[in-house]
Structure 1
Amino acid sequence: MQTVAEHTEVVDLVRWINDRTAGLVYQSDERSQLAVGCFDVALEHQAAIAVLHSSELYGSAFALIRVLSESLVRGLWLYQCATEVELTKFRKGHIGKDFGTLVAEYEKKIGTPGGVFSSFKLSAWNQLNDFTHTGFLQVSRRHKHGRVEGSYSDQDLQKALGAAGALGLIAAVQLVSIAGRQDLLPSFLDRMSAYAKADSGG
Structure 2
Amino acid sequence: MSRVIDASAVEYLNWIGAAIHECDLPATSRVRAAAGCLAIAQDHHHAIVILLDHDRLASAFSLVRVAFEAYVRGEWLALCAADFEVDAFLDGVEPPRFGVLLEALERTDAFKEQVLSQMKAQSWAAMCAYTHTGGLHVQRWNTPGAIEPNYEDVELREVLSFAETIGSLAVIGVAWLAENAEAAEAVLAKLKERRAA
Task: Decide which moves more: 95-104 or 55-64.
Answer: 95-104
TM-score with structure 1 setting the length? 0.91
Q: CA deviation at 1:109?
A: 2.0
**How large is the Cα RMSD of the aligned pairs?**
1.6
Change (3 A) 1:14 1:32: same
After TM superposition, the structure 1 = structure 2 runs for residues 95-106 of structure 1, keeping only pairs within 5 Å, are 95-106=94-105
Give, in angstroms, the shift of residue 94 of structure 1. Answer: 2.6
AA partner of residue 4 (structure 2) = T
1:56 maps to 2:92: no
2:174 is aligned with what amino acid? Answer: L
2:124 corresponds in structure 1 to: 125
Distance (Å, rounded) in 2 between the aligned partners of 1:191 and 1:47: 17
- Offset at 1:26? 0.3
Q: Equivalences for 1:10-89 in 2 at 5 Å?
A: 10-89=9-88
SS at match of 1:183: helix
Give the counterpart letter for 1:194 in structure 2: E
Q: Does the residue aligned with 1:143 lie in a helix, a strand or coil?
A: coil
Q: Is the 8 A contact 1:24 1:179 kept in 2?
A: yes
AA aligned to 2:52 is: H
> CA, structure 1 residues 48+171, in 2 after alignment: closer, same or farther (shift >3 Å)?
same
Matched, 1:2 2:3: yes
2:107 match: secondary structure? helix
- Could you tell me whether the CA contact under 8 Å between 2:129 and 2:137 is conserved in 1? yes
How far does residue 112 in structure 1 lie from its aligned partner after superposition? 4.3
Instruction: State the TM-score, normalizing by the size of structure 2.
Output: 0.93
CA distance, structure 1, for counterparts of residue 185 and residue 87 of structure 2: 34
Which is worse superposed, 106-115 or 147-156? 106-115
Select between 163-172 and 146-155 the one with higher mean Cα deviation: 146-155
Secondary structure of the structure 2 residue equivalent to 1:108 = coil
Report the equivalent of 2:90.
Answer: 91
Unaligned runs of 5+ in 1: none
Question: What is the alpha-carbon distance in structure 2 between the residues aligned to residue 109 and residue 179 of structure 1?
Answer: 19
For 1:100, the aligned partner's letter is G
Q: For structure 2, which runs of at least 5 residues remain unmatched after alignment? A: none
Tell me the distance in 2 between the aligned counterparts of 1:60 and 1:195. 24
Q: Aligned partners of 1:159, 1:181: CA distance in 2, in Å? A: 30
Question: What's the secondary structure of 1:68's corresponding residue?
Answer: helix
- Superposed CA offset, 1:30-70 (max 9, x none): 00111111111111100000000011001100000001001
Distance 1:16 1:35, change over 3 A: same
**What do residues 93-147 of structure 1 show as CA deviations (whole Å, max 9, x unaligned)?**
3334221211110010226446110001111011100000000111111123412
